[in-house]
Amino acid sequence: MIICGAGHAGVEAALAAARMGASTLLLSGNIDTIAQMSCNPAIGGQAKGQMVREIDALGGEMAINTDVTAIQFRLLNESKGPAVQSPRAQCDKKAYQFRLKHTLELQENLQIFQATVTGLIFESGRVTGAHTNLDIDFFGRSVVITTGTFLRGLMHIGQNKNEGGRLGDFSSKTLSASLIESGIVLNRLKTGTPPRLLGRSIDFTKMQEQRGDLRPTLFAFHDTRDPGDLFHVEHTGEVRAGWTPGTQQVSCWMTHTTTESAQIVRDNLKKSALYGGEIEGIGPRYCPSIEDKFVRFADKPRHLLFLEPEGRSTNEYYVNGLSTSLPFDIQLDLVHSVPGLEHAEILRPAYAVEYDFAQPTQLFPSLESKKVENLFFAGQINGTSGYEEAAAQGLIAGVNAAQKVRGEAPLIIQRHEGYIGVLIDDLVTKGTQEPYRMFTSRAEHRLLFNHGSAEARLLHHAKRYKLLSNNRLNRVEEKVGRIKRWTESLEATRLQGVSFGEILRREGRGAKLPETFTAETAEVREEVIYRIIYKGYIEREYRQVEKLADVEKIRVPPDFDFMSVRGLRRESALKLTQFKPYTLGQASRISGVNPSDISILMVLIEAGRGAENFPSSQ
């Protein structure tokens, strides 16, 4: 297998494939920037934190790498219900990057090589390898494209333009042509990043301090891992970067824009690359530039900004909320208009970057291209925004690229099983016209997705695809068994005629419970209490899932001729032909396809017309 790109999608794809036993090559234009946090050095957040825990439950590396390099932990929505509580961590940018690079270097079945992929090699509708800028060709049975923002990447600071996927790095200019030649349609998107400031030039006395949680909520499931998973590498004696989770926390700081800031932006909108017509790509709706904020939310007197340290061994600060593509001199004035930043020095200017992406509706749910066999896509090339979304896709693409080579069924996470399932189904079914970001509101079954349940929810996948070590699998199975036994026991055991389950639902977490239960591990206790307190809601969700299960299980033959189906509306037939849905459930979520269309298809497919030729590995 060949992985093209070593960002957050590429590293998870490479590790997943190598750990499954595939001979894997990871190609990067610069191996010194493997897993670099190009924007904010933070992991997690609403829905994203749950997704990182799902990555960990499926054997990925992002969670453990975050825990041991984090410099601040915060649990978001702590005052709300556990279903929407999300862990977030600020990481040491370089420690995160160095530890993950070291992990890749020590992984069996994985080779890293520095070279820029300039094009792909095709044969009879399949991808068979990759050309590089070194005139070295590599051949493989499957290829995963994880190029991030580097496909024809172009950076903007006012009228100034520089080619590159990020400041100080290169642009992949010829790979786009190779993809287009193979029939893959590319469009443009835009993202941006704020300036980085010198910490000693900041007046923190004018800002509000934000400390980390005293009892950090970690991302990895440490209770089912071997202690050696943290730092030490078995057999080699090497020690990876990092520290005991929660021991190296530092503060972040909060400030805000002013009326002067707003005036500076409004007076110079035409000089912004975004508003001056220099950028054709669409930017992220939910992480807008400061220009967008002052234009779209003109009634807001100010906008919050967060000063976040880039690491423990640097004095560099990230200004979260001040993304812009204004000229540098205007950026200076803008920064100096903010309380506490009156004399701040800019180390790196803010900039916008636009890049090519491939509309993800051109993919199967396995993330394999519908146009080119054995070619997989993951990360920002699929139109997503964020490290977590990229890592989740990379993991699934890596697993499925290996499965495809073996001729075995792909790993498909269903929408009711986790945020990863929602993410991929949204992408391949609905596509995106702007950088896609995961939110809890995108998941109709989000009550099932509390972050502590990820191992239990995804255990059957981890077991089937052998994504965890035998030791960890045994521990997860034993833990899930304890959760089930305690849930049943507390519902059945009574105190003065009332079950402990009823007491919990009535009195909440302050209820007095049996000492044998309170002596259980915190991970087991929390999951049992969640299942009992929200029992009625959870059961309602599962009933809804069961209602939809029939259409989700019915596979649509890949060569099904929708245009010839009598009674099917032409609009639906055209949409279905274009999207090539994997199941009837996916077909039902395509815009323009209505329930009557699904009923017609269900009758035909269940009658067996053409279904016998459906390949299980597709």
Asked if residue 473 is part of any domain, the answer here is no
Asked if residue 164 is part of any domain, the answer here is no
Question: Where is the domain boundary, 324, 349, 374?
Answer: 349
- Helix extents (H) in 364-441: 387-406, 419-430
Determine the Cα–Cα distance for residues 112 and 581; give it in Å rounded to an integer. 35
Task: Determine the pLDDT at residue 229.
Answer: 66
User: What is the full DSSP assignment across 550-586?
Assistant: HHHH-BPPTT--GGG-TT--HHHHHHHHHH--SBHHH
Task: Determine the pLDDT at residue 236.
Answer: 67
* Helix H or strand E segment including 74: strand 70-76
Task: Determine the pLDDT at residue 610.
Answer: 41
- Predicted model pTM: 0.90
Asked if residue 308 is part of any domain, the answer here is yes
Asked if residue 470 is part of any domain, the answer here is no
Mean pLDDT by 10 residues, the chain (618 residues): 97 98 97 93 95 98 97 91 88 96 96 97 96 97 95 89 80 90 94 95 98 95 82 69 92 97 95 79 77 90 95 96 95 98 97 94 96 97 95 98 96 95 94 90 90 96 96 96 97 93 92 94 95 94 84 85 88 87 88 80 73 36
CB atoms within 10 A of CB 460: 10
Looking at the structure, do residues 422 and 566 belong to the same domain, yes or no? no
Q: Which residues contact 527 (CB under 8 A, 6 or more apart)?
A: 450, 452, 453, 456, 483
Q: Is residue 615 within 8 Å of 559, Cβ to Cβ?
A: no
Looking at the structure, do residues 203 and 181 belong to the same domain, yes or no? no
* Helix H or strand E segment including 376: strand 375-377
- Sole residue written with tokens 């004035």: 333
Question: Where is the domain boundary, 325, 349, 373?
Answer: 349
Mode of pairing for the β-strands spanning 186-193 and 304-309: unpaired
Looking at the structure, do residues 204 and 340 belong to the same domain, yes or no? yes
Asked if residue 466 is part of any domain, the answer here is no
Looking at the structure, do residues 567 and 522 belong to the same domain, yes or no? no
Looking at the structure, do residues 524 and 419 belong to the same domain, yes or no? no
439: exposed, middle or buried (Cβ count in 10 Å: 0-12, 13-18, 19+) = middle
- Residue 67's nearest CA partner among 217, 225, 226 is 217
Q: Which residues contact 308 (CB under 8 A, 6 or more apart)?
A: 40, 41, 42, 90, 252, 317, 318, 320
Residue span of the structural domain in which 496 resides: 481-541
Task: Determine the pLDDT at residue 54.
Answer: 98
Q: Is residue 417 within 8 Å of 184, Cβ to Cβ?
A: no
Pair of tokens at residue 217: 């909520």
Determine the Cα–Cα distance for residues 154 and 156; give it in Å rounded to an integer. 7
Residue 230 Cα to chain centre, angstroms: 22
- Sole residue written with tokens 């191996």: 31
> How far is residue 232 from each of residues 110, 228, 473, measured CA to CA in Å?
19, 5, 21
Looking at the structure, do residues 283 and 378 belong to the same domain, yes or no? no
Asked if residue 131 is part of any domain, the answer here is yes
- Residue 525's nearest CA partner among 479, 492, 493 is 479
Looking at the structure, do residues 203 and 287 belong to the same domain, yes or no? yes
Q: Hey, what amino acid is at 17?
A: A
> How far is residue 507 from each of residues 70, 178, 515, 529, measured CA to CA in Å?
36, 62, 17, 12
As for how many domains the chain has, the answer is: 4
Question: Where is the domain boundary, 323, 349, 375?
Answer: 349
- List beta partners, residue 346: 197
198: exposed, middle or buried (Cβ count in 10 Å: 0-12, 13-18, 19+) = middle
Pair of tokens at residue 95: 């420690």
Determine the Cα–Cα distance for residues 543 and 539; give it in Å rounded to an integer. 6
Asked if residue 399 is part of any domain, the answer here is yes
SS3 at position 122: strand
Asked if residue 20 is part of any domain, the answer here is yes
Looking at the structure, do residues 52 and 13 belong to the same domain, yes or no? yes
Looking at the structure, do residues 371 and 325 belong to the same domain, yes or no? no
Looking at the structure, do residues 85 and 59 belong to the same domain, yes or no? yes
Mode of pairing for the β-strands spanning 316-320 and 24-28: unpaired
Q: Is residue 252 within 8 Å of 303, Cβ to Cβ?
A: no
Task: Determine the pLDDT at residue 615.
Answer: 35
Q: Is residue 279 within 8 Å of 268, Cβ to Cβ?
A: no
- Residue 302's nearest CA partner among 327, 338, 329, 275 is 338
- List beta partners, residue 354: 154, 190
The CATH number covering residue 288 comes to: 2.40.30.260
Looking at the structure, do residues 531 and 400 belong to the same domain, yes or no? no
Looking at the structure, do residues 121 and 268 belong to the same domain, yes or no? no
